[in-house]
Amino acid sequence: MSERVPRRRVDGVLLLDKPAGLSSNAALQRAKRLFAAEKAGHTGTLDPLATGLLPIAFGEATKFAQSLLDAPKAYEAVVRFGAETETGDAEGAIVRTMPVPADRAVVAAALPRFLGRQRQTPPRHAALKHRGRAYYDWARAGVEIPRPPREVEIRALDVLDWRAPDLVLAVACSKGTYIRVLAEDLGVAAGSCAHLAALRRTTTGGFRLADAVTLERLEAMTGAERAACLLPVDALVQGMPRIDLPESEAVRFRHGVAVPAPGSAPGRAVVYASGSLLGLADVDEGLARPARLVVPPAPGEPVSS
C-alpha cells in the first residue's frame, strides 16, 4: 500500500486542460492529489466527452469560484449530421438516421435563428435534479419528467470547418447553455438530425485554454514547477471594482465589521489592504460590508500559492 501524502493548505487557481473520458470531478481529484491540497473545487462542469478549460480553485480561491460559474463561456463543437443519439452526444446509441445536408450553405443558413436570448429545454440526460434525482437517472429508468426550459444566450456562432457529415463550430454563450441541445436543434433546422460528436471549452470568463496545463504535464513536474502554475486567488475577481483600505480599517473589515468606503459605487467590490486581498464587500450608502473574507494563514502555517 502506498504511503498517504499529508494534505496541506494550497491557495490559488489552476487552469487545467481536462482530457476526454474523465468527469470534471475525477479530473479535480487527480489535480488535488498532485498538489496534496486540503481543499479544492472546479468552476463549471464538463461532461466526460468534453475536453478543455476547467479552472480549479484551491483553498481560499474556492470562496470566489461563483464568479466563473456565472461567467460566459466559449467552445469549439463538432456537430455530426445524419444521426440522432439517445443522449444528444457521441456517448449515446444512435436512435435515428437521416440524409446529411447537401452542403455547408444549408447548415450556415440555419445558424442565425439560434443567436441571442432564448428558452432552451435541458436534455433528458443532464445532471440537473428533479425530486432529488439527476435527470439522467430518470432517463435511464425510462421515466419522462418535466424539464422546464431555461433562458440562455448564444452570443456568437461561427463555422470553422465543414467536412460532411461534420460541422465544426465556434460557440460563445452564457452559462447553462447545453451545446448538445444546440447540436440537435441545428440538425432539425437544417432538415436533418444531428448530435454533438466532440466539445472543447476554449474560454471561461477571462481565462483561455492556451494558458492551461494538462494532467500529464503536471504529473511530470516537480512540486515547485506545479506551484508555479497556480494563479493567485484574486485572479478570480479581476475586473471587479476595487477598494483599498488603510490598515486601521482593514482590521475591522477582517472581523466582519462594515467600514467606510467613500466614493465607491454601490454593488460588489473586491477589497485590499497593503496589496493583500481581504475579500469581497457589498457596498451601499458609503459602507463596505464584508461578504466573503480571506482567512490568512496561521503563524507558521505552510501555504503554497
CATH number at residue 81: 3.30.2350.10
The model's pLDDT over 45-66, given as tens digits with 9 standing for 90+, comes to 888 999 999 999 999 999 999 8
- At 35 the three-state DSSP class reads helix
pLDDT of the residue at 1: 43
Q: With respect to residue 156, please indicate whether it lies within any of the assigned structural domains.
A: yes
62-117 pLDDT, tens digit per residue, is 999 988 888 999 999 999 999 999 999 999 999 999 999 988 999 999 999 999 99
| C-alpha–C-alpha distance, residues 168 and 197, integer Å | 10
In this prediction, residue 3 carries a pLDDT of 54
Residue 4 lies in a domain: no
- Residue that is last in its domain, among 216, 235, 254: 235
Task: Identify whether residues 117 and 176 lie together within a single domain.
Answer: yes
The domain in which residue 87 lies consists of: 73-204
Domains in the chain: how many in total? 3
- Say whether both 106 and 222 belong to one domain: no
Nearest alpha-carbon partner for 52 in 90, 19, 13, 91: 19
**CATH assignment of the domain containing 245:** 2.30.130.10
* 191 lies in the same domain as 100: yes
Separation of alpha carbons 78 and 214, rounded Å: 21
Out of 189, 220, 235, pick the residue that ends a domain.
235
Mean pLDDT of the chain: 92
CA–CA distance from 220 to each of 32, 68, 230 (Å)?
15, 28, 16
Shared domain check, 189 and 89 = yes
The reply to whether 106 and 189 lie within a common domain is yes
**Quick one: average pLDDT of 145-168?**
95
Q: Spell out a b/e string for 200-209, using b for 16 or more CB atoms within 10 Å of the CB, else e.
A: bbbbbbebeb
Q: Which positions are annotated as active-site residues? A: 47
